[in-house]
Amino acid sequence: MTQHKADLLQGTLDMLILKALSLGPLHGYGVISRIRQMSGEMLDVEQGSLYPALYRIEQRGWVNSKWEVSETGRRAKFYTLTRAGRRQLDEEEAGWDRLVLAIAKMRQAT
């Protein structure tokens, strides 16, 4: 039996990154791995999408970054969620909760 992967909806990547970082600092590949793990292997984020998004959310003050040595002994940029990033994540999750509820109501309507 094959498992179908969900396509990322436009505008969800920032929230997914913030959610992954809410559990602790990660380097880029760690963010990709955590999103995959948290989604039950249903979401894959490409590096070509991840790094521009990390840059964008760092510019917005939602994450901080610093160079450190990774578990493999290589230098990597680690990202940490800021207070502003936590607030943004809370807002985005609340928005998604409202959207999911509205869609569920529409699906039940006859």
- Could you tell me if residue 80 is inside a domain? yes
Domain count of the fold of the chain: 1
Please give the pLDDT value at position 52: 93
Q: What is the pLDDT of residues 22-68, one digit of tens each?
A: 999 999 999 999 999 999 999 999 999 999 999 999 999 999 999 99
3, part of any domain: no
Burial status of residue 76 (CB atoms within 10 A of its CB: 0-12, 13-18, 19 or more):
middle
Q: Residue 2: inside a domain, yes or no?
A: no
Domain that holds residue 71: 13-108
Confidence of residue 109 (pLDDT cuts 50, 70, 90): confident
Residue 77 inside a domain? The answer is yes
Q: pLDDT tens across 64-97, in order?
A: 999 999 888 999 999 999 999 999 999 999 999 9
- Sequence-distant (6+) residues with CB within 8 A of 40 are none
CATH number at residue 86: 1.10.10.10
Tell me if 51 is assigned to some domain: yes
Helix-helix angle 13-21:83-108, to 10 degrees? 130
pTM (predicted TM-score): 0.86
3-state SS class at 2: coil
In-domain check, residue 1: no
